[in-house]
Structure 1
Amino acid sequence: MQKRTGKVLQIASTYMGTIVGAGFATGQEILQFFTRFGYWGSITIALATVLFIWLGTKMMLLASEIRAKSYEDLNKALFGDRYGRLISHFMLVILLGVTAVMLAGAGTIFYEHWNISYQAGLLITMVASFFLLRKGMKAILTVNAIVVPVMLLFTVLVMIDTFRTPGSDKFMTLVTDYSPWAAWASPFLYTAFNLSLAQAVLVPLGAEIGDRKTIVIGSWVGGIGIGFMLLAGHIALSVHMPGIQQFAIPMGGIARQLGYYVQFIYIFLIFAEIFTTLIADIYGLTLQLQERMKWSRELLTLGVLIICYLASQIGFGTLLSTLYPLFGLISLGWLVLIIRKKVAYRRT
């Protein structure tokens, strides 16, 4: 029982850590996908939470069933050999792009907040990623086991402070000029983009865990945790609407109200969230490439880091605004296919 509980928490923390990336931690994703739609935001967050629980569970159970070595094995099982290979090629490009964005984001944190040059920040992050990933999945589980509880604690602090603020119920009455259709499309777009990326680490995790009940419980805990952090961020941001929209890091403005030390911790958390997403994506990429090229994992990790370093010279903002809309569209097609797919599982 104790062993299963440990594995459940590993799945849940890795799931949350993989989804809760830089855009989530800064508040930009919550603002763009939920809060700007006013009172619809709370309802659509509930829908996104259901999707994360349902499809995250489905993904990891199937990975366990077929003993998938990488997300390409999963896509072949879902969509057939031909289309599965094609989707995996798209995912390879998407993961490379997002990894470059994460690396550029890490460099930006070093430059803007810690007075260390952008290039030095990139190199420090690359070296740390390389040595951690030599330990494989164990490194990802360990990092998320540390980062996610701290992020949850920070989320609770923000929520407590928000409910002490006048107008804390604004999330229930906030009006919007956006169409309800746009509001209802947002949770699907948000879930599609994040889950399509998360499969890079959730697929090998599901295959490694193996036990059906552990996967189901872990996915539920992780999905509910994601939903809680989304809702807490949405409530906090709603209080400060519409003025909060002018900030590049909306949650940073809210954290500033909690004092210097909390703000410092928050900036570190943003970096930590970038880092967890970065190593998860690199891990998924190297597993995928290893099936094709049969090179050592260390050599592939180094190669991926070098490619992402070169791409990161474009800059964080430019990469983000150019690549994310395209990736979101491709990911939505993947979400539709995985929802429609009927999967029969062997009970263990």
Structure 2
Amino acid sequence: MKLQDWIRTLQIAAIYMGTIVGAGFATGQEILQFFTRFGSWGTYAIIAATFLFIWLGYKVMLLAHQIKAKSYEDLNVALFGKSLGSFISLFMLVILLGVSAVMLAGAGTVFEENFDLSYQLGLIVTCIASFFLLRHGMHAIIAVNAIVVPVMLLFTIIMFFHTVDMPNTMSFMTIQTDLPLWTAISTPFLYTAFNLALAQAVLVPIGAQTPNPSVIKYGALLGGLGIGFMLMVGHIALSAHMPGIQQFAIPMGGIARNMSTIVYYIYVTIIFAEVFTTLLSNIYGLALQVHERSKLSTTIIIFFALICCYLMSQLGFGKLLAILYPLFGFISLGWFLLIARKRLDPINK
């Protein structure tokens, strides 16, 4: 591949990682609930999830490339057929709006609980920044992820070296659980299905706009490995602090606070940045989908989508999370199975 292809590969990997890593991942709650609470089985579940992120992320983007998808509705029609595919896309449109509201509420909560600023101020600042950045489309998402993802990886490495010095470093391979084995076996599939179903809103346009399939392949490989690396480091750190770490609403924040005040505030800023990148990706995917259906200006769609998110975020971060995430997790499993079974045309270049 040429130099510009490798640059594009790194951009795809960064966007993939930035889209998957949202509020739940950054706080450590997702890692704790999906992996660490299963003890040593969680380690193997993360390895399985990493392979699934590489394989299925690649399939989503390559399928979008092959059918020249303009939005994720085109992908769902290819998977489910026209009638059911259109219904699933409409359902996902509603959920995307809901999850965007969750991300916005998460940003407001960071302002309120960690920076001692107004919740409403956090919502308004995030909405304004999102609106002006999203007017530049995919270029804005690439630019933001080019900054956030390297910083996120750097902090992950710092967290890793901090954990290595602890006496309980190897707990992730020895810790036991009373939970049934079948739940640990199912968790990588549930976790990957939920996150990839959301991420398709931005992975589909990336795949469609990338002319070289090899760039898609290596972008999915690097992005999936990056996600797996961050999952594993978070799991190792949380395992070393089990079971006491389960009492924290933001488990990774509790670990960061023990390192130093400076590290804690850097980490909180990273949480906000990760929430922000996921919000940008979701609103962008939503705007493309509504534009495809209505032909309205994407700027107008983005404006009203952010207004809706602002109104919904008045319910609060916790309530939105509890209502919307289980609902979307159910439909994600069917989508996951169809993506896994879908045959792809061979790559010609």
Where on the TM-score scale, by shorter chain, does this alignment land: which range? over 0.9
Note if contact 2:213-2:347 (Cα within 8 Å) is conserved in structure 1.
no
SS in 2 for 1:128: helix
1:118-157 mapped onto 2 (5 Å cutoff):
118-157=119-158
1:26-105 mapped onto 2 (5 Å cutoff):
26-105=27-106
* Residue 194 of structure 2: aligned partner: 193
1:17-32 mapped onto 2 (5 Å cutoff):
17-32=18-33
| Percent of paired sites with the same residue | 63
Per-residue CA deviations over 1:167-217 (Å, capped at 9, x if unaligned) read 100110100011110111111111011000000001001111121001100
Q: Which amino acid aligns with 2:77?
A: K
Note if contact 2:64-2:204 (Cα within 8 Å) is conserved in structure 1.
yes
Q: Which amino acid aligns with 2:42?
A: G
Per-residue CA deviations over 1:293-336 (Å, capped at 9, x if unaligned) read 11111100011011111111111001111111111111111111
* Residue 177 of structure 1: aligned partner: 178
- What is the deviation of 1:344? 2.1
* Residue 108 of structure 1: aligned partner: 109
- What is the deviation of 1:41? 0.6
SS in 2 for 1:229: helix
- What is the deviation of 1:343? 2.4
- What is the deviation of 1:346? 4.9
* CA–CA distance in structure 2, aligned partners of residues 277 and 17 of structure 1: 7
Per-residue CA deviations over 1:123-151 (Å, capped at 9, x if unaligned) read 10000000000000000011011000100
* Residue 301 of structure 1: aligned partner: 302
* Residue 204 of structure 2: aligned partner: 203
Note if contact 1:24-1:30 (Cα within 8 Å) is conserved in structure 2.
yes
1:260-299 mapped onto 2 (5 Å cutoff):
260-299=261-300
Q: Which amino acid aligns with 2:28?
A: G
Q: Which amino acid aligns with 2:114?
A: H
Note if contact 1:62-1:345 (Cα within 8 Å) is conserved in structure 2.
no
CA-based RMSD of the aligned residues comes to 0.9
1:221-236 mapped onto 2 (5 Å cutoff):
221-236=222-237
- What is the deviation of 1:66? 1.4
Note if contact 1:65-1:346 (Cα within 8 Å) is conserved in structure 2.
no
Note if contact 1:65-1:345 (Cα within 8 Å) is conserved in structure 2.
no
* CA–CA distance in structure 2, aligned partners of residues 86 and 184 of structure 1: 30
Note if contact 2:202-2:285 (Cα within 8 Å) is conserved in structure 1.
yes
Per-residue CA deviations over 1:62-119 (Å, capped at 9, x if unaligned) read 1111111100011112222122112111211110110010000001111111122111
SS in 2 for 1:313: helix
* Residue 215 of structure 2: aligned partner: 214
Structure 1 residue runs of 5 or longer lacking an equivalent are none
SS in 1 for 2:259: coil
* Residue 338 of structure 2: aligned partner: 337
Say yes or no: does 1:320 pair with 2:321.
yes
Per-residue CA deviations over 1:233-284 (Å, capped at 9, x if unaligned) read 0000001111100100000011112211111110000000000000000000
| Residues 157 and 346 of structure 1, relative CA distance in 2, 3 Å threshold | closer
Structure 2 residue runs of 5 or longer lacking an equivalent are none
* CA–CA distance in structure 1, aligned partners of residues 253 and 347 of structure 2: 46
Q: Which amino acid aligns with 1:335?
A: F
* CA–CA distance in structure 1, aligned partners of residues 149 and 123 of structure 2: 23
TM-score for both structures, normalised by structure 2? 0.98
Q: Which amino acid aligns with 2:14?
A: S
Which of 193-202 and 327-336 deviates more? 327-336
- What is the deviation of 1:345? 3.9
Q: Which amino acid aligns with 1:41?
A: G
TM-score for both structures, normalised by structure 1? 0.99
